[in-house]
Structure 1
Amino acid sequence: MISRRKSRSVSPRLTGEVEIDYARKKTASWLICALEQRVGMDENFFDCLFWVLGEKEPLLWALLKAMDGAPRKAGMPAARRAVREILENLRTLNASFACEELLKDHPCLEDLGYAVACNVCREVMGQETDGAIYARAGQGLERVFGLGREARAVCEFIFILQHFSAVEHYFEDELNVFRFGRRRLLAQMLGIPFSCLRPVTEELVGFGILESSAFGNVLRLTESVLAFWDAEEPRQETLFHRPLEGESLPLHSFHIPAADAGHALRLLQRRDEAPVHILLYGASGTGKSSFARTLARECGVKAWAVTSRENDSDSDRRASLTACLHLSSLHKGSFVVVDEAERLLDTDLAFGRQTKDKAWLNDFLESPGRRVIWISNQVDHIDPAVRRRFSFSIYFENLGVGGRVEVWRQVMKRLGLAGRFDVPRMTALSRSYPVEAAVIQEAVSQARSLYGKRRDFYAALERILQAHLTLQAGGEFRPKRPSPELEEFTPEGVCMEGDVEAFMARCRRVDAAMRENKALRSGCGAMLFYGPPGTGKTALARYMADRLGRECLCRRASDLMNAFVGETEKNIAAAFRQAEKSGAVLVIDEADSFLSSRSMARHSWENTMVNEFLTALEECRVFCICTTNRRDILDAAAMRRFPQKVAFGYAGSSQVRRLYEKLFSPLCGTEMPEELLQKLLAMKCLTPGDFHAVRAQYDPLFVSPENVSHSVLVEALAREVALKLEHKEGAVGFLR
């Protein structure tokens, strides 16, 4: 929408008086049409007429000459004197106002005035003028947007009105030619059928070529469209569309379900006139634009991208979309790509912009023959009525570790650098720097172009990645270094009931189904890990996330609970929402804080908190692992929400042996004596947590290797067990 007084634009670079003469000639023809309808000749009329003539004297001299040849009428001598008086004082008079008053004071001049005004306008129309810029503008509008003669005539009229104030004041302010009652006059002026005027005007507004005021009584050309009249803008097309160019990847390389990619391809390969609108959405840098390029390559067709310019308006974007659609219609099977599509799809009041025309958008999505790929980072503000009109949509989730490793592999191979990276290095980078595919591509390209030596290349890569993430975090990013616990984790040391590999096989099957968007029961990824402290519940959850190539989003009770009523529920919902949006494995430590039996609740907010957690758990579409040391106090309804319940206990002899070999044997360098081994195996209530605590205590950074031996380590483990048993007995006595 445009406001009434902000309507005038800065005139483009016209080629001097020659082009203005063309505008005067056109305006003369419009004035004749108005005069034939016997419109009033007031001050605004004479301002416009004098601008058409270029000077004032010719009209007054022509009027005097006509009076000399006209039949004698009462009052004619006085009228002649009044005209001469105006001529004598032109330099000091407001000539337009004086002429208006002349006709009011001397009614005998009315018919003569109309005739003289028509004659001088016809003389202007008979002059030779060069309208090259206007002709070129019309050709450009036809070429870029496919506009017909009627639409081009409307655009030319509005351009002249928009850039010459005398024309604007008369035809818009005085005659109100855009109002319903004057549209017949406007159609006559432009030489188009009256029945065409309204649909043509509405179409131009819908195309984004015109902007309309709230009541439709002011129409202006969109800023970008004014370039067609610019003598120094040789290629208007580049302002509105560009070929979809850039590197494309194999279709199978995108981290979306293969069936979804194939379905999108089939939609675009259809040859009927059904509209095809595909929405690609998800976080920036996840490969949406690259996927669109790949679709064009797979279809073997051309595609055009809607241009985005600095400070362009919504109408500018619509105009670009219209231009792309026209070009696409000339090439069979081609389609259009709209990046940053939320600018056009957001029909809510957001970011200070006015509400979009929902009717236009709905009609656009339903119009036959249109094939558009819409790319958006967010869909929250897209109206449900708009969402259901998309033919298909694909969500691009943030890449997990495994996904980033695959991107690193593809990028290095594509740039001829496959030999520089092995899988462990790519995995380490993927864990430390959670960036999008586009950032990886830029980092590798930049480092390769600036540094030849491998060491410098590796250092530059990390420098670029860290700079990107630090900027995104507002200067507070620290790389995610590999977790020592994850590196030291050994599946054979897991103290769970059942086989770890069988458990992981089940997880991989569920993970594959999730990634392929197969129909799964809500909450099928919910698991309860329960057992004594230190038995490896959280460690197994982290290991599982790592092996599945997903981020691990760990939340403790202290992260989620809040002193203010309702805030805990919000934090719970936000944690589940973040996990679903990123595809992470959500780990809730100390879940008994949220899931304790409601029969034990003392306050209403405790029940509300449990209800919120159970609802989120039941609707969860990703893996959610809740850990607890106190299964006995969990709510009965909560227990039913976990399809998988995994019990953890104290380490058996096989787990003790494996944990000792993994964590302690490298510290000693010698074989463990048999008597110490038997002493170790005789210990009760050992857990992986005890081994990690002792391992940290005797880390080579803090203790000299000569002071570490098998006997020292076994004694340290015995102390950990004794402290644990002492604490357990003390707690039991206290409870009595």
Structure 2
Amino acid sequence: MTFLPDVARFPLRIGADPETLSHLQREPLLFAAHYATLQRVVKWPESILRITSAVNARYAQHDEVLKLIETLRSQVPMALSADLARSLAEGLELHDTFQQDPTEYAQTCENFLEAYRRALAEEIDAGEDSATGRLEMISDLMAFSPAETQVLRYALCCTVHPPLQLFTRLFCEQRVDRNQFWQITLEMDAKTLSTALSSRGRLAGTRMFHTTQTHPSLSEFWADLLINTGISLATGILQSLEPQGSTGETSRLLPEDREILEALLHPREVGLPGINALLYGKTARDKHRLARSLILASGATPYTLNPDIPDGDRPAAVIVAQRLLAQRPERTVLVVEKAQSVLTRVYPDIFGFMGFMEEATDVQPLDQRLLAENPIPTLWLGHEANRLHQETLGRFLFHAEALKGTRADRKVMVESLIETLPVAPRTKLELVKLEGLSEQQVSSAKSLAKITAGRSRRTYARHLLLAAQRSQKALARKNKDEARMPVTQYSLDYLNSAGRFGPAKILQSLRLRPQASLCLYGLPGTGKTQFAEHLAQELGYPLLTKRASELFDKYVGESEKRMSEAFDQAEEEGAILLLDEADSFLRDRARSQHQWEVSIVNELLQQIERFEGIFICATNLYSHLDIAALRRFTFKLEFLPLNFEQRWEMFLNEADLRNKPLSTSQQADYEERLILMKNLTPGDFATVKRQCLLLGESLSPRDWLDQLELEVQAKQRQSEDYRAGEVAA
């Protein structure tokens, strides 16, 4: 701890001033407390040392000190240490001499006052290496007035020097003119001091400064940071925003939000004040990782506050941090977590204990200052935007919501964490399927597998996946998301659709305006569900799939309720809603035999009209759908079996014939067999590929064709049986 010249300078002024000196002459305990503040910092004359030595000899024994503390306890309004009790005893003994002749005591104070003024100037010049220099630096960064800085100095001295705190408390409890006391102690007139102590002033607004009815003090955090010069100011307040373990699920931004934020956090013009953005979202979402990736992508360096800073000290820490970063040559962005605890509009109590009436000032409230004067771009993180004051909320330049991450986001996170691990791609894909999987879950699973698996790669992969799955269960998260991973090479070129607007055109339009309703119909396996999953991945939205078995209920009105809840869930999660087996919900009302069938159709149509996202229904039985309902869909897209070019391209990919030479006879044979397969779909290729993966075998081109023919024949028989059943019915 460094020495503070102010600890001596403030009480020396009291001892050197005739008016305040007269108060000391009348009150023995007040004089004793004043002497205690100066005991170790002033070189006393021989006459005073003789008296104090005798007192010290009297209280050399521990038991005697305890008796002294017990005697003083009823007179002193704070806990006493042994040293402070002995100092008070010395002061009380000196009071008799002082009362008879106060000139020697006053002269000693006056002589040392000038010396400590010089010592204070040297402390300020020492900068960060001294407490006084640090206080000056912080005052400059906070834009405090000289009067506010002086009040801050006194508060620091009261905090770290108990004798000065005791003297201040005893003096303020006296029936004296406090106004006069503070003007002499702080060397300023009443009007200046009143302005410095305004509860709407800069000093009060920072909440660095705390008061009771008798004395001022600094918070423990700021006092330690100013006194303990072993660490730099920057280290005590700032730290680089590094990846941290979080159980929060991966999150994402809308592409247009991300584009704006990256430009905002790295503006072309340096030094523009008031660049603030709010990134908010549910508590379960990892906004920390999202903010870091966003800032790095913008080309800036991310920083955040030291996590050890208490909530009450964070507003002032933000101001200091912003201005420290502004002095650095590189582009920086400050990330402030728990925005609602920093951007408060609560004003502190008036500092009435000093005897001044507060004067009105034009200083902005702290939350306005934090959002108007920051010299570097600042990204604020919060959970619910509406927890902030509306005026505060309106001052952000941009507001972005952290949405639930997609499979693609999880894939990036998983691959970054297990890129070098000895696991097969299939294990990575299984991890990516775990909806809501967090960085901390993957890290914990890695640690477990490292401990339990030994040298077996297969065991390592199994334990890694099992640990992640058990973690999902404990956190009540799904063990897989709704979108399936394609087993065959996926391309929109392999979708054969009828109509003017094909899949690629629809995807392009949804990129520009993600709000539409789509009806996808056609034979099973033609790629309807896979196209919905592809849309979700390309647009960066989660996919919420609902089927008839999940929504139908035997009780009247419950199916409609579940239908409404499905749309609400999709809206809340920012997801694309896929309604599979849509013919079960959109039956032609003219053919309905029960009133509940009509009610379900009506409820679904109302929800489609209200929904502001992307709604997709998929069906194999287009002819069964309600004609009026079909008019509500923005796009109606029919999926057909593969044409010859698409069959040939998929066959080359899956049979591993791409870029391999084929004889004319071979190619003709393969092409003929593919042409003769009736209603061949991408789903047939996927079924055969799953068989290969399950059996761990690779098929020759001819075996591929054999298996495809079997799939086509099986579908044909199933279709014939279905039609026969309809005729019989």
TM-score, shorter chain, exceeding 0.5: yes
Matches of 1:597 and 1:574, distance apart in 2: 27
Alignment correspondent of 1:77: none
Alignment correspondent of 2:379: 374
Alignment correspondent of 1:260: 260
Q: Do structure 1's residue 324 and structure 2's residue 321 form an aligned pair?
A: yes
| Aligned-residue offset at 1:269 | 0.8
The within-5 A match list for 1:287-436 is 287-293=290-296, 295=298, 305-310=303-308, 312-327=309-324, 336-340=333-337, 342=339, 344=341, 359-367=365-373, 370-376=375-381, 378-380=383-385, 381-393=387-399
Alignment correspondent of 1:35: 20
| Aligned-residue offset at 1:675 | 12
Alignment correspondent of 1:105: none
Matches of 1:491 and 1:334, distance apart in 2: 42
Q: Do structure 1's residue 175 and structure 2's residue 178 form an aligned pair?
A: no
Amino acid of the residue matched to residue 567 of structure 2? I
Q: Do structure 1's residue 236 and structure 2's residue 230 form an aligned pair?
A: no
- Deviations for 1:582-632, whole angstroms, at most 9, x for unmatched residues? xxx442324567777999865999699648733652x22xx4322346768
Alignment correspondent of 2:714: 716
Alignment correspondent of 1:26: 10
Amino acid of the residue matched to residue 541 of structure 1? A
- 5+ long unaligned stretches in structure 2: 52-66, 78-94, 125-129, 244-253, 347-362, 657-665
Q: Report the secondary structure of 2:502's partner residue.
A: helix
| Aligned-residue offset at 1:569 | 3.8
**How large is the RMSD of aligned CA atoms in angstroms?**
6.6
Aligned CA distance change for structure 1 residues 170 and 396 (closer, same or farther; 3 Å): same
Q: Do structure 1's residue 528 and structure 2's residue 531 form an aligned pair?
A: no
Matches of 1:658 and 1:674, distance apart in 2: 7
The within-5 A match list for 1:661-700 is 681=678
Alignment correspondent of 1:539: 530
Alignment correspondent of 1:186: 182
| Aligned-residue offset at 1:578 | 1.4
| Aligned-residue offset at 1:318 | 2.3
Alignment correspondent of 1:158: 155
- Deviations for 1:85-123, whole angstroms, at most 9, x for unmatched residues? xxxxx96994797999xxxxxxxxx9x998977974664
Aligned CA distance change for structure 1 residues 498 and 233 (closer, same or farther; 3 Å): same
Does the 8 A contact of 2:497 with 2:639 survive in 1? yes
Q: Do structure 1's residue 574 and structure 2's residue 569 form an aligned pair?
A: yes
Amino acid of the residue matched to residue 140 of structure 1? R
Amino acid of the residue matched to residue 191 of structure 2? S
- Deviations for 1:679-721, whole angstroms, at most 9, x for unmatched residues? 964x9xx987789789989997499999977886565334322
- Deviations for 1:645-701, whole angstroms, at most 9, x for unmatched residues? 22457x5886997799699999xx9999999999964x9xx9877897899899974
| Aligned-residue offset at 1:503 | 1.9
| Aligned-residue offset at 1:239 | 0.8
Alignment correspondent of 2:196: 200
Does the 8 A contact of 2:207 with 2:315 survive in 1? yes
Does the 8 A contact of 2:11 with 2:185 survive in 1? no
| Aligned-residue offset at 1:238 | 1.9
TM-score, length-normalised on structure 1?
0.61
Aligned CA distance change for structure 1 residues 187 and 652 (closer, same or farther; 3 Å): same
TM-score, length-normalised on structure 2?
0.61
Does the 8 A contact of 1:29 with 1:121 survive in 2? no
Aligned CA distance change for structure 1 residues 165 and 92 (closer, same or farther; 3 Å): closer
Does the 8 A contact of 2:208 with 2:313 survive in 1? yes
Aligned CA distance change for structure 1 residues 292 and 554 (closer, same or farther; 3 Å): same
Does the 8 A contact of 1:526 with 1:644 survive in 2? yes
Aligned CA distance change for structure 1 residues 391 and 458 (closer, same or farther; 3 Å): farther
Matches of 1:348 and 1:694, distance apart in 2: 65
Aligned CA distance change for structure 1 residues 172 and 665 (closer, same or farther; 3 Å): same
Alignment correspondent of 2:63: none
Amino acid of the residue matched to residue 385 of structure 1? E
Alignment correspondent of 1:75: none
Aligned CA distance change for structure 1 residues 428 and 328 (closer, same or farther; 3 Å): closer
Q: Report the secondary structure of 2:531's partner residue.
A: helix
Q: Report the secondary structure of 1:572's partner residue.
A: helix
Does the 8 A contact of 1:398 with 1:436 survive in 2? no
Matches of 1:715 and 1:633, distance apart in 2: 25
Matches of 2:493 and 2:232, distance apart in 1: 69
Matches of 1:408 and 1:24, distance apart in 2: 60
The within-5 A match list for 1:415-564 is 474=474, 483=484, 486-487=487-488, 496-498=497-499, 503-513=502-512, 520=513, 524-530=515-521, 536-546=527-537, 552-557=543-548, 559=550
Amino acid of the residue matched to residue 504 of structure 1? P
Matches of 1:404 and 1:186, distance apart in 2: 62
Alignment correspondent of 1:83: none
Q: How many residues align?
A: 614
Matches of 1:393 and 1:148, distance apart in 2: 34
Amino acid of the residue matched to residue 260 of structure 1? I
Matches of 1:328 and 1:477, distance apart in 2: 42
Amino acid of the residue matched to residue 162 of structure 1? T
Greater shift in the superposed pair: 708-717 or 536-545: 708-717
| Aligned-residue offset at 1:140 | 0.8
Q: Report the secondary structure of 1:338's partner residue.
A: strand
Does the 8 A contact of 2:279 with 2:400 survive in 1? yes
Aligned-pair identity in percent equals 17
Does the 8 A contact of 1:267 with 1:276 survive in 2? no
| Aligned-residue offset at 1:127 | 4.7
- Deviations for 1:25-47, whole angstroms, at most 9, x for unmatched residues? 63353477783796996787466
| Aligned-residue offset at 1:327 | 3.2
Matches of 1:524 and 1:141, distance apart in 2: 56
| Aligned-residue offset at 1:724 | 2.4
The within-5 A match list for 1:45-194 is 45=30, 48-49=33-34, 51-52=36-37, 94=71, 120=105, 123-124=108-109, 126-127=111-112, 136-146=130-140, 149-165=146-162, 167-168=164-165, 171-172=168-169, 175=172, 182=178, 185-194=181-190
| Aligned-residue offset at 1:399 | 6.3
Q: Report the secondary structure of 1:192's partner residue.
A: coil
Does the 8 A contact of 1:534 with 1:690 survive in 2? yes
- Deviations for 1:563-586, whole angstroms, at most 9, x for unmatched residues? 879676445322232135xxxx44
Q: Do structure 1's residue 642 and structure 2's residue 633 form an aligned pair?
A: yes
Q: Report the secondary structure of 1:487's partner residue.
A: coil
Amino acid of the residue matched to residue 370 of structure 2? F
Does the 8 A contact of 1:269 with 1:333 survive in 2? no
Q: Report the secondary structure of 1:509's partner residue.
A: helix
Q: Report the secondary structure of 2:147's partner residue.
A: helix
Amino acid of the residue matched to residue 269 of structure 2? Q
Aligned CA distance change for structure 1 residues 648 and 601 (closer, same or farther; 3 Å): farther
Amino acid of the residue matched to residue 182 of structure 2? L
Amino acid of the residue matched to residue 575 of structure 1? A
**Aligned mate of 2:287, from 284, 287, 290:** 284
Does the 8 A contact of 1:212 with 1:218 survive in 2? yes
| Aligned-residue offset at 1:160 | 2.9
